[in-house]
Structure 1
Amino acid sequence: MKRRNFLSLTGTFTGGALLLPDFLFALGSQPNLVVGEQCLVFVQLNGGNDGLNTFVPFEDTLYYNLRPNIALSKDEVVGKNQNMAFHPALKGFATMQQNGDLSVIQNVGYPEPVRSHFRSQEIWQTASATNEYLNDGWLGRYLDLKYKENNPTGGINIDSIDNLALKGQEPNSITVKDPSRFKIKSDADDNIKLSNNPQLDFVRKIANSVLEGSDDIQNALSNSISETTYPKTGLAKNMEWIARLIKGNLNSRVYYTSLGSFDTHDNQLITHKNKLTELNDALFSFYTDLKNAKLLQNVTVVVFSEFGRRVKDNGKGTDHGTAAPMFIIGGNTKGKIIGNNPNLSNLNNGDLKHEIDFRSVYASLLQNKLNFDCTKIGIQNKKLEGLF
């Protein structure tokens, strides 16, 4: 069996008992990172979020001409700033920006864009070129170099499936759907040998790593409570878990979760409003929670999607496009709008032209927040200036 298959067997835990034989369970101890270090929280919007109806060029007549069926009126958008404004469902985003805690990065994408959901997500998660295929994620490569010995809670993915962005050569991250149910067995024998087969022994190493991470997660949860009321939605629950792990001093460097589906080919006005409402309410609760705990300066939230939508609507919605905005919350971001407003008169075959490469945003996050040289994991882009 290949090593990566062992990782897929042992790295994911979705609640309940870990699906491994009893003899693989063993208790361990995992020293926490230094309290107060910076961490990154990623919220991935799956399906291709319509950036033009998220952060709206409400003063551009072309926006209304090209989107007669789905354009948002000047009267309903909120947080007007530099001829741009937020979707009316994003009142919390507007408040965070007014507070100086949210930056918008406009026209983010990459050269030779791909409209396939799967492939474009893969490009964002590995930081590869369009014609380059990598097996490990950009955050997984970072975590491999960050830790001399594997740290099972270096990265936490709150989801039911693994995320390629966190995949590395070593088991430095854990996927868990419900941290409250992520518990280990207490009757394991750490002295039992699997076999003389080094591959099977490697399975045990990974299993023990997962179990050590479980212990740390339970300790962090026991050291924290929710003092902010979160909405009863899937994303809000995930953000509440992340907040509790941060407040409980788990000290993971990376947290990851996702929200879908933003694939609004049809019935966009209603669907998009509902998805953005869930996003806004979950993140504003998280923001309030961390700010009240005086931890917002240590936590940087990154909101992105694999691509935006076509500029012209299709009558009921929008089809797959290219560039779109990213949103950065907390982490002492400068609270600016970075980049030019979308140029709707200079399109590439009906799509927005990207002006900022997403890997330059990654470079800024790595260098400014994690004190890490991005070239060590193959990102050659210069960091985006003015973000922090």
Structure 2
Amino acid sequence: MDRRKFLTLTGTFTGGSLLLPDFLYSFGSQTTTNLVTGEQCVVFVQLNGGNDGLNTFIPFEDALYYEMRPKIALSKTEVISATRGMAFHPALTGFATMQQSGDLSVIQNVGYPEPVRSHFRSQEIWQTAPTNQEYLSDGWLGRYLDLQCKDHQPTAGVNLDSIDNLALKGEEPNSITVKNPNQFKTKSKVENDGKLSDNPQLDFVRKIASSVVEGSDDIQKALSKSATSDVVYPKTGLAKNLEWISKLIKGNLNSKVYYTSLGGFDTHDNQLAIHKNKLSELNDAVFSFYQDLKKSQQLQNVTIVVFSEFGRRVKDNGRGTDHGTAAPMFVIGGNNRGKTIGSNPNLADLDRGDLKHEIDFRSVYASLLQNKLAFDSTKIGIKNKALEGLF
């Protein structure tokens, strides 16, 4: 069996628990070596569907914004936390508070050359970080973990979702996908004869079996050690995922990368209502997470990155917006400088009706790897210079 297909079968815990065939339990556990980059970790929140950046962080002083979006523009009286001609959507009160506290940076006009407007392919480009849009089977974070972990470490990366994330896929099973950590429990008794077989695929199965058990044990230990929080999270899927991540961080799981996502941003129709609801869900979940980390004095060690696979077209379609290109990214915590990086969107200089990207997303990745994870991004094929001024 192909090892990647096997990873999909055994490395994903979409039901929150996993029953393994008995024969897997005869294979030995392997000693793992913790990562050595300190207490820092990065949490990614991926907004699936193509979030409308122009209606998220709004150029409210630009007359062209209102001219090109007569049906969906946010009025000057609605937007909040205005600065340098930009302001937040009124649903993003928590984002505004984090910005005013110096804990949130906005990176303007993020994208990549020759942008793709397909959801699947653009997400794949963001998740694999290729040099020239070549197709890669490993994710950029998976490649990082392959090099950073001396031996496979099951929970070096944790994906809180119901499906695997390509960004975390590497040659070794150094990440794990879990829907409900509290219910993710496996048999912990594993016998180890310390021997490899003559069959590489069988040895890979053994490694996966060990990874499953070790990952389950590590997660349960972290949850048992996590301090109780007085922050009340909203009852939404994203909020629950971020609450789990907070518990794992406070329980010293020592994962370097956490990943989760929120869908529903493909706003071709009825955008004003749909986008307000999605941004409210995002805001309330992320702000609760932020407050939890701040109260537990973990915020300086945790960097939260919010992004989408592309923005929307500048001109509305009468009901909403169609697939576009560049959009803002948001970075919270991790002792970021709390600045707006890059120029305001230039609505007078478009590429076939779309924003021109100013900052390559791979330069943001390079900055995260360099400044937060003490890692040289060129080792995983990211040639872009690290974005300056973020940390």
State the TM-score, normalized to the length of structure 2: 0.96
Query: What is the alpha-carbon distance in structure 2 between the residues aligned to residue 284 and residue 73 of structure 1?
Result: 24
CA distance in 2, matches of 1:27, 1:198: 15
Maintained 8 Å contact 2:34/2:149: no
The offset of 1:191, in angstroms, is 5.2
Q: 1:1-388, aligned counterparts within 5 Å?
A: 1-25=1-25, 28=29, 32-33=34-35, 37-129=39-131, 131-186=133-188, 189-190=191-192, 197-224=199-226, 225-388=228-391
Which amino acid in the other structure matches residue 168 of structure 1?
G
- Work out whether residues 114 and 130 of structure 1, in 8 Å CA contact, stay in contact via their aligned partners in 2: no
Deviation string, structure 1 residues 255-299 (Cα, Å, up to 9, x no partner): 000000100000000000000000000000000000001110000
Distance 2:282 2:325 in 1: 21
Kept in 2: contact 1:35–1:249 (CA 8 A): no
Using the alignment, how far apart are the partners of 2:16 and 2:39 within structure 1?
Answer: 31
Secondary structure at the counterpart of residue 62 of structure 1: helix
The separation in 1 between residues aligned to 2:6 and 2:380, in whole angstroms, is: 23
- 8 Å contact 2:28–2:206 — kept in the other structure? no
- Unaligned 5+ segments in structure 2 are none
Give the secondary-structure state (helix, strand or coil) at the position aligned to 2:177: strand
**Which residue identity does 2:254 align to in structure 1?**
N
Change (3 A) 1:351 1:340: same
Does the Cα contact within 8 Å between 2:28 and 2:193 map onto a contact in 1? no
8 Å CA contact 2:188–2:213 kept in 1: the answer is no
- Seen in structure 2, the aligned counterparts of structure 1 residues 200 and 16 have a Cα distance that, compared at 3 Å, is same
- On the 8 A contact 1:30/1:213 being kept in 2, the answer is no
Post-superposition offset of 1:171 = 0.5
Q: What displacement does 1:24 show?
A: 1.2
- Cα distance in 1 for residues equivalent to 2:245 and 2:34: 16
Please list the CA deviations of residues 214-253 of structure 1 after superposition, one character each: whole Å capped at 9, or x if unmatched.
1000000001133311000000000000000000000100
Q: Deviations over 1:176-195 (max 9, x none)?
A: 00000110114554459997
Q: What does the per-residue CA deviation read over 1:23-73, in whole Å, with 9 as the maximum and x for residues that have no partner?
A: 213685656556951100000000000000000000001000000000000
- Taking the aligned partners of 1:17 and 1:23, their CA distance within structure 2 comes to 18
Work out the percentage of aligned pairs sharing the same amino acid. Answer: 77
Higher mean C-alpha deviation, range 364-373 or range 11-20: 11-20
Q: Unpaired segments of 5 or more residues in structure 1?
A: none
Q: Give the match's secondary structure for 1:301.
A: strand
Q: CA deviation at 1:306?
A: 0.2
Instruction: For residue 16 of structure 1, report the CA deviation from its aligned partner.
Output: 4.6
On the 8 A contact 1:301/1:328 being kept in 2, the answer is yes
Q: Counterparts of 1:125 and 1:99 in 2: how far apart (Å)?
A: 30
1:13 Cα deviation from its structure 2 partner: 1.1
